[in-house]
Chain A
Amino acid sequence: MNLSILAIIYLLASVSYILGLKMLSNPATARKGNGIAAIGMGLAIIGTIFLYQDDEGNLLGNKAWIFGGLLIGTVVGVMAAKKVKMTAMPEMVSLFNGMGGACAALISMVEFNHLADKIHSQPEILLEDIFPSSGAYWTWTSEMLVILAGLVIGAVSFAGSVIAWGKLNGRIKDFAFRGQHILNLLLLAIVLVLSAWMILVHENANVMVFYLVFLLAVLYGVFFVLPIGGADMPVVISLLNSFTGVAAACGGFLYNNKAMLTGGILVGAAGTLLTILMCKAMNRSLKNVLIGSFGATSTGGGGAKQEQGTYKEISLSDAAMVLAYANKVMIVPGYGLAVAQAQHACHELEKQLAEKGVEVKYAIHPVAGRMPGHMNVLLAEADVAYENLLEMEHANEVFPSTDVVLVLGANDVVNPAAKSDPSSPIYGMPILDVESAKTCIVNKRSMKPGYAGIENDLFFRPKTSMLFGDAKKVLQELVAEIKNV
């Protein structure tokens, strides 16, 4: 009876994930979809605690521990999620993803110990290895397979996500050395060989080997993400996200649990597709992201050290004048705006200019901000009207008839090298063609290269003037100046 009810709950949960994911891919229904998936998850959790029975019909014990863990996780999770700034969203997502990966790896550890006990207490079954009739052998093989898969994938996802989190908030620098790819492949090969050996030869249900595999998988996760830098980070987070999905699905096999299986595989598949879609938005192949990392190429490449021309600086009052007397202004918000939390000040400037009769639009690059679609979230937070946001292709059509382009902390997404310089690491990435406008004002804190670590020729072009300073401060001062014009 209990188990039938639980089966229905799991079915409902699976349906809620599918519905939720479907609704999340449409702006009108996204929030409801998230809620539906959350309700399904809550049902599945409560159902598991009270209705789950093992093979001998025992209900789950240790309820105090379970509720204690749930309570701690909920309090910390809600606090972290409520407190985090919108601009820091990418590292938060990455960190939560890492927690899921670690959870999968921990489950594998406990289950491995159970399985090893079972194997060591019944060594005689090992003699019938070759005969398919030995049911226990195949059960063990399957269990070992999913336990190790959950361990390795979970560990890689956890280590990779933590490194990604550290890199995104600036605690960990890009780090690459010669032969890193070979080391990575070697690590992966050792992990796979050791795992295959443990799966096929049960006598080796050796705890030491098991933890060695775990350790090497963690190392692999670290070295896998360390060299990847700049704009490629979101792609890696999305990829690790789908890894954790697969790790969760391994738990579904292990416990014969359809809710885990469907949820995990669904996210694994959807995450992989999402990763590919993101790559497409940046015109990069997944292989390029994983092998040709920005950080590694720009330190060795000659492009970065080219002799640069001189740049023009523009004063704040001149910039205000130019903006106030323009007919059409296009704002290109970027990473700098996100970091400075300047989205509200930006909206303020837009309103101020609109009062003076200037037509203001925003040109949004698909990967503007710190993640694809991140800029839209930030501008929505500041109540910028949706119809004022132009997507890249549309914006590029409008630039030639634009008087002034105001670039706020964007660097790579307006770098003409992506079109003209095949040696540039971002060559081939579609960019916002700000050069076709009459004037271009670029706000940056300094002449230092941007996120991807490459110089931008745009800043030295005759049509471009530089307006130095923190995006938020500059915008607030511009608003004040324009009021006086």
Chain B
Amino acid sequence: MDSILEWITAYQEYIYIVVLMVFLGIEVIGRVPSVLHTPLMSGANAIHGVVIIGAIIVMGKAASYNYLAIILGFLAVILGTLNVVGGFVVTDRMLEMFSHRKQAKK
């Protein structure tokens, strides 16, 4: 029991961040119109590509003799980049369609 409490104390900063982010995430997209479900999903998809930072750290820390770490890290960097770049570009392309419409109206 004591040790669990100690663990919570040690990591309380993270626990705060997680709890606050959960509320913020829910609050931020609150009532999104169904028109935007697809772009929003795709945009959120790009944001979780932040996992690329982890891939870069793994790659950057890999010792030159550790081939397994280098290969896995390299793959991780490629896949993470695909997630980030592809996600943002695809979202932008979708949203571009909406702005065409606005220009046409003017």
The interface of chain A, by Cβ under 8 A from chain B, is 13, 17-18, 20-22, 24-27, 30-31, 33-35, 37-38, 41, 44-45, 48-49, 52, 54, 59-63, 65-66, 68-70, 72-74, 76-78, 80-82, 84, 86, 89-90, 92-93, 96-97, 99-100, 102-104, 106-107, 109-111, 113, 132, 138, 141-142, 234, 237-238, 241-242, 244-245, 247-249, 251-255, 257-271, 273-274, 277-278, 281, 366-367, 371-374, 376-377, 380-381, 383-386, 391
The DSSP consensus for interface residues of chain A is helix
| In contact, A278 and B46 (Cβ under 8 angstroms) | no
**Given A61-B60, A248-B51, A138-B36 contact (CB < 8 Å):** no
| In contact, B51 and A107 (Cβ under 8 angstroms) | yes
A96 to B86, CA, bound (A): 7
The DSSP consensus for interface residues of chain B is helix
A238 to B69, CA, bound (A): 31
Does B7 count as interface, using CB distance less than 8 angstroms? yes
**Given A34-B91, A93-B42, A110-B58 contact (CB < 8 Å):** yes
B70 CB to closest chain A CB (Å) equals 7
| In contact, B3 and A132 (Cβ under 8 angstroms) | yes
For B53, give its contact among A44, A102, A247 (CB under 8 Å): A44
| In contact, A269 and B24 (Cβ under 8 angstroms) | yes
| In contact, A99 and B83 (Cβ under 8 angstroms) | yes
Name the residue on B nearest A69 (C-beta): B77
For A18, give its contact among B24, B58, B79, B99 (CB under 8 Å): B24
Sorting the interface of chain B by its residue count into under 10, 10 to 19, 20 to 34 or 35 or more gives 35 or more
**Given A25-B28, A30-B36, A274-B44, A103-B51 contact (CB < 8 Å):** yes
| In contact, B53 and A77 (Cβ under 8 angstroms) | no
For B24, give its contact among A37, A62, A266 (CB under 8 Å): A266
| In contact, B70 and A248 (Cβ under 8 angstroms) | no
The interface of chain B, by Cβ under 8 A from chain A, is 2-3, 6-7, 10-11, 14, 17-18, 21-26, 28-62, 64, 68-70, 72-101, 104-105
| In contact, A264 and B34 (Cβ under 8 angstroms) | no
Name the residue on B nearest A371 (C-beta): B38
| In contact, A37 and B82 (Cβ under 8 angstroms) | no
Chain B hits for A260, CB < 8 A: 50-51, 53-54
- List of 9 A-B pairs having minimum Cβ-Cβ separation, nearest first: A73-B81, A60-B60, A269-B25, A69-B77, A251-B54, A77-B85, A81-B89, A263-B50, A77-B86
